Amino acid sequence: MNLRRAMPTAKMELAYRSPWELLVATILSAQCTDVRVNHVTPALFKRYATPRAMAKAIPTELEGLIRSTGFYKSKAKNLVGCAQAVTTRFGGRVPETMEELTSIPGVGRKTANVLLGAAFGKPALVVDTHVKRVANRLAMTHSSDPEQIERDLQSLYPQAQWTDVSQRILLHGRYVCLARKPRCAVCPIFDVCEWEGKLLK
């Protein structure tokens, strides 16, 4: 599989200026498009510029700012808990290890890998619904478990490529290898794809 030729640069589509902003944006992106999150975050960060400010947020006010991202009540709760943890346990700085990141409320392994790869430049394989789907279709894994998929993909690529590889697979799944109507006619790796469900060009 060579998506690199078709996608020389695979950039993160969430807008952010700091690890903290990326952490918040990633939490908001659950079950929501990056476009919508990018629409919401400027006003959010204008109101709550730091973890310390968000840690003291009035829940209903915060909910109002993020309502359009969906699941806003649980996201608001997670954001306040996250901000409090970053403020009190990490001195206002987002930590840079998987263990510390996943100890924060609302931060799972996927979110932690987003931070490690995009914000801190560390090798990290993000497994979201797109990566899960594409990796299975391309027989890079036969698992539905995100952690197993992560391990399977790690075994296929050098560590230095993990971040870029997962981002390419993610974007390929987001824009080409769609869940219901895959765009096989414009797929750059159609000829090497052995997925039995692929559509004829």
Q: Mean pLDDT, the chain, as a whole number?
A: 96
Helix ranges, the chain (H): 19-28, 34-47, 51-55, 59-66, 72-89, 98-101, 109-114, 129-137, 146-156, 162-175
Query: Span 159-164, mean pLDDT?
Result: 96
CA 61 to chain CA centroid, nearest Å: 25
Q: Is 52 in the same domain as 75?
A: yes
At residue 2, does pLDDT exceed 80? Answer: no
Boundary residue ending a domain (80, 100, 119): 119
For the question of residue 110 being annotated catalytic, the response is yes
Residue of 46, 56, 73, 110 marked active site: 110
> pLDDT tens digits for 132-146?
999 999 999 999 999
- pLDDT exceeds cutoff 70 at 1: no
* CA pair distance 164, 196, nearest whole angstrom: 26
Residue 35: DSSP 8-state:
H
Of 73, 75, 77, 128, the catalytic one is 128
Is the model's pLDDT at 201 over the cut of 70? Answer: no
What's the whole-number mean pLDDT along residues 81-103? 98
The pLDDT score that the predictor gives to residue 7 is: 87
- Do residues 88 and 150 share a domain? no
Q: Let me know if residue 7 belongs to a domain.
A: no
Residue 174's CATH number: 1.10.1670.10
pLDDT category, 31, cuts 50, 70, 90?
A: very high
- The pTM of the full predicted model, rounded to 2 decimals, is 0.95
Domain boundary among 100, 119, 138: 119
Number of domains composing the chain: 2
Residues 90 and 51 in one domain: yes
Final residue in a domain of this structure, among 76, 100, 119: 119
Same domain, residue pair 108 and 133: no
Do 51 and 106 lie in a common domain?
yes
- CATH number for 36: 1.10.340.30
pLDDT in tens, 49-73: 999 999 999 999 999 999 999 999 9
Give me the domain span that covers residue 82.
19-119
Are 79 and 142 in a shared domain? Answer: no
Is 128 annotated as catalytic? yes
